[in-house]
Amino acid sequence: MTATPTEIRVSRDRKTLTVSFDDGARFALPAEMLRVLSPSAEVKGHGPGQAVTVPGKRNVEIMTVTAAGNYAIRIGFDDMHDSGIYTWTYLRELGEDGARMFANYEAELAEKGMTRDRAERPR
């Protein structure tokens, strides 16, 4: 059975989403990581091999967090991206494995000659 959040809180500076689960686990998830690893079709694509690398999001902020049924949240960012549905399972995955996932993202940026600081067309 999937653990469910007991608290979801955005930091005052809007740079971190803290998620506490009913099994005691607690994760502080950076806004940048949430944005560039968004589960949206815009980022993940509609099928295998369609994912895009989104640069220039180092300073992105969380603007809104809204419930999506009883299983997820939708996060709105200050760059107007708000189409990702973050399930409890995906939030847990980001908490447990986000550092590795973000390191892979940084490697993709480097490979494509992109940076976390300069916004350009995702590819």
End-to-end CA distance of the chain: 36
Nearest one of 38, 48, 3, 47 to 17, comparing CA atoms: 38
Q: Mind listing the domains of the chain with CATH numbers?
A: 5-112 (3.30.2020.30)
Say how far apart CA 100 and CA 119 lie, in whole Å. Answer: 23
What pLDDT shows up at residue 42? 85
State the DSSP H helix or E strand holding residue 103, giving kind and residue range, or none if neither.
helix 88-111
What pLDDT shows up at residue 118? 85
Spatial strand order in the sheet of 62-68? 62-68, 72-77, 85-87
User: Which pTM does this prediction carry?
Assistant: 0.93
The pLDDT of residue 56 is above 90:
yes
